[in-house]
Amino acid sequence: MKKEIPILFGLIAAILWYSEFFFAGMFFDNLKVFFASGLKIAGVVGIMIGVYSVARQNYFKIKYNNERYYAILRVSMIFLMIFLGSQRGMASGTPFSSMFFNVYIPFQATTFALLAFYIASAAYRSFKAKSLESAVLLTASILVMMGKIPLGEAMWDKIPVIGEWIMDAPSSAGRRAIIFGGYLGMITMMIRIFFGLERSHLSD
């Protein structure tokens, strides 16, 4: 029954959800609101599960000395932010806001900025014209990059046009093929879940 009931719920929800696409009326309008409200509640429960999961993971890390000091630091920071936010509010000028803007934002921005350094190093070591295909790829990428920076346009006004054509025609065509493939896979998976053939989401 552990498996059958969720499959039955899934089947009923899918039938109702699909009916809404084909029929109009108050019942189906209310159905949309019902699903929207239900999923909002599910989202709130999801956040609660997330909080529980973080607390549980860090508790075991501290208990069994698995990167204990990182876990202590992580939990301390979480509780510090909760404490500051609940005691003094989150408006600008409060300690929470100060921590957020002066600690959290620079940390996150730094993590993303590291990408530029890795790309430069990887490009130097690996981006070589070893074959005709890689030479074409290299030329196309340089033209696209030149088209994206103002210097390219200043050098020759056709560089952005060429770069744009590469993005709009060959690159876009390849991407469409990937999108089509992905969506066909999703439809197949959806049909399998609908008929109860796919049970991996139920840990089967």
Partner 1 sequence: MNVLEKLKNLDRRIIYLLVFLSIIIPLIPGFDFLKFPVSASKETKAIFDIIEGLDEGDAVHIDFAFTPTQKAELLPFFEAFYKHCMLKKVKVFIYYGASVNGMPLGKETVKRIMQRPEFSHMEEGVDYLNMEYIPIQPDIQIFGMVSDYKGTFKKQGKIFDGVETLDDIDLILGISGSKWHQPLIDMQIRFHYKFAMAVTAVTGPDYIPYFQTGQLCGLSNGLRGAAEYEMLVSKKYDVDYYGTATKGLSSLTFSHLMIFGLIFLGNIIYFYERKKGGK
Binding site for partner 1 (CB under 8 A): 29, 32-33, 35-36, 39-40, 43-44, 46-47, 90, 92, 97, 100-101, 104-105, 108-109, 111-113, 115-117, 119-121, 123-130, 138, 142, 145-146, 148-151, 153-154, 160, 164, 167-168, 171-172, 175-176, 179
CB 88 within 8 A of CB 96: yes
Task: Give the containing element (helix H, strand E) for 37.
Answer: helix 26-63
- What letter would DSSP give residue 158? T
What is the nearest approach in angstroms of partner 1 to the Cβ of residue 24? 12
What is the nearest approach in angstroms of partner 1 to the Cβ of residue 101? 7
Of residues 150, 193, 143, 202, the one with CA closest to residue 168: 143
In this structure, what token pair is assigned to residue 198? 């796919």
In this structure, what token pair is assigned to residue 187? 């439809």
Q: Of 67 and 168, which CB lies nearer to partner 1 in the complex structure?
A: 168
What is the nearest approach in angstroms of partner 1 to the Cβ of residue 95? 13
